[in-house]
Amino acid sequence: MKKLLVVSALLIANFAISQTLRDSTQTDVQVNSAQRMLNKTNTKLTIGAYGEITYNQPESENGELDVQRFVLMMGYKFSDKVQFISEIEIEHVEEIFIEQAFVNYSVGDNVSIRGGLMLVPMGIVNEYHEPTTFNGVERPAVDNKIVPTTWREIGVGVSGRFPDASLSYQAYIFNGFKSTEVDGDEINGLLKGSNGLRGGRQKGIQSTVSTPTLSAKLDYYGLLGLRLGLSGYFGKTQADDDIEDIDGATIGIAMMGFDARYKFQKLEARGEFIYASLSDTDAYNDLTGKDLGSSLLGYYIEGGYNVLPLNAKQRLVAFARYEKYDTHSSTENNTPRNDAYNRSDITFGLSYHIVSGVVVKGDYQIKDNALNGAKVNNQLNFGIGVWF
pTM of the complete model beyond 0.85? yes
Give the CA distances from residue 323 to residues 121, 305, 367, in Å, rounded to whole numbers and listed in that order. Answer: 20, 19, 10
Distance of CA 78 to the CA centre of its chain: 29
Task: Write the CB contacts of 317 (distance below 8 Å, at least 6 apart in sequence).
Answer: 135, 268, 304, 305, 306, 307, 350, 351, 352, 353
Q: Could you please report the per-residue DSSP string of 38-65?
A: HT--S-SEEEEEEEEEEEEEETTS--EE
Task: Write the CB contacts of 151 (distance below 8 Å, at least 6 apart in sequence).
Answer: 119, 120, 122, 126, 201
- What is the torsional sign of CA 171, 98, 38, 134? positive
pLDDT of 20: 31
CATH superfamily of 2-387: Porin (2.40.160.10)
Q: Are 21 and 106 in contact (CB under 8 A)?
A: yes
- Alpha-carbon distance of 377 to 271, in angstroms, equals 25
- Alpha-carbon distance of 253 to 378, in angstroms, equals 33
For residue 225, give the 3-state DSSP assignment.
coil
DSSP state of 145: I
Burial of 61 (0-12, 13-18, 19+ CB in 10 A): exposed
Length, in residues, of the chain: 388
- Alpha-carbon distance of 37 to 363, in angstroms, equals 31
Q: Provide the pairing of β-strand 111-119 with 152-162.
A: antiparallel
- Alpha-carbon distance of 118 to 148, in angstroms, equals 14
Strand order in the sheet with 186-189: 186-189, 178-183, 238-239
Give the CA distances from residue 239 to residues 55, 145, 150, in Å, rounded to whole numbers and listed in that order. Answer: 38, 22, 21
In order along its 388 residues, the chain shows pLDDT tens digits of 433 433 343 333 332 233 333 333 333 346 899 999 998 878 999 999 999 999 999 998 999 999 999 999 999 999 999 999 999 999 999 999 999 999 999 999 899 999 999 999 999 999 999 999 999 999 999 999 999 999 999 999 999 999 999 999 999 999 999 999 998 889 999 999 999 999 999 999 999 999 999 999 999 999 999 999 999 999 999 999 999 999 999 999 999 999 999 999 999 999 999 999 999 999 999 999 999 999 999 999 999 999 999 999 999 999 999 999 999 999 998 899 999 999 999 999 999 999 999 999 999 999 999 999 898 999 999 999 999 9
Q: Provide the pairing of β-strand 238-239 with 178-183.
A: parallel
Burial of 24 (0-12, 13-18, 19+ CB in 10 A): exposed
Q: Are 133 and 171 in contact (CB under 8 A)?
A: no
Tell me the residue type at 27.
T
- Alpha-carbon distance of 201 to 148, in angstroms, equals 8
- Alpha-carbon distance of 33 to 127, in angstroms, equals 9
324-361 as b/e, with b when 16 or more CB fall inside 10 Å? Answer: bbbbbbebbeebebbebbbbbbebbbebebeeebbbeb
- Alpha-carbon distance of 252 to 315, in angstroms, equals 45
Q: Tell me the domain boundaries of the chain.
A: 2-387
Q: Are 133 and 29 in contact (CB under 8 A)?
A: yes
Taking Cα atoms as reference points, which of 139, 99, 102 lies closest to residue 123? 139
